[in-house]
Structure formats: structure tokens, C-alpha cells
Amino acid sequence: MSTTTIGNTDHHPTAWYSQMRPREKSTFWACTGGWILDAMDVQILSFAIPAIIAAFAITNADAGLIGTATLLSSAFGGWFAGALSDRFGRVRTLQITIAWFASSPFSAASRRATRSFSSSAR
């Protein structure tokens, strides 16, 4: 019986990673982190749906509509950001996206606070 051995780098599933330069490895891990955070966002919504159904007394169909709207909005956002990236560049589009994502909770919170202050003053 003959035995064939494969070298350490021959046909190894992760050999491509060891051939990357440090900058490429940084890019790889940044993309992996973004993908993980995006997947986590959608997964957390799937865990939150039962609590949303109970807290707001909505139907399963309404909960399905929430999930569908989330995924369709995500697809539209990717398409729209891709078009903006083609026109203005990826870096500028990413900067705008981060600023938008970071400022949205503050604008929503201030809007709610303004409404609750004005209703309590009546």
C-alpha cells in the first residue's frame, strides 16, 4: 500500500489567506466584520419579532410585513448605495452612510422628546 502526502500549502482550503499581504488581510477582516454585523442585525430582528408581536398586539401577518419591509429596504439601500458609489466614489458614499446611520437615532430621539414635552405642556 502506498501513501501519498500532501505538502502544507498544496491544496489546503485556506492557503489563499497565507498568500495575502497585510493590507489585504486587513481588508478581508474589515469586510468579514461588516458582513457579520449586517447578518447580526437581521438575526436580531428575527429574535425580536415575537416580543414585538406581544408588546404591540400585532398579527403574524403584520410581523411578516415588518420582516419583508426590512429585507426589501435593505436590498433597495444596497442598490441605491451602489449607484451613489458609482457616481461619488465608495469612500464618500460610506462616509455619508455612516453619518446617516449615526445621526438617525439622535434625530428620532429628539423628535420623540419634543413631542412628549409639547404634549405634557398642554
- pLDDT tens-digit map of 10-25: 678 888 999 999 999 9
Q: How many residues does the chain have?
A: 122
Chain mean pLDDT for the chain: 84
- Set of cell numbers at residue 56: 404591540
* Exposed e or buried b per residue across 68-103, where buried means at least 16 C-beta atoms within 10 angstroms of its C-beta: eeeeeeeeeeeeeeeebeeeeeeeebeeeeeeeeee
pLDDT digits (tens, 9 = 90+) for 22-77: 999 999 999 999 889 888 988 898 899 999 999 999 999 999 999 999 889 989 98
Q: Give me the mean pLDDT over the 72-94 stretch.
A: 92
Residue at 45 is within a domain? yes
Q: What's the structural domain count of the chain?
A: 1
Residue at 115 is within a domain? no
Domain residues for the domain of 51 are 23-110
Residue at 11 is within a domain? no
Whole-number percent of the chain with pLDDT over 70: 83
Q: Which of 70-79, 80-89, 104-113 comes out lowest in average pLDDT?
A: 104-113
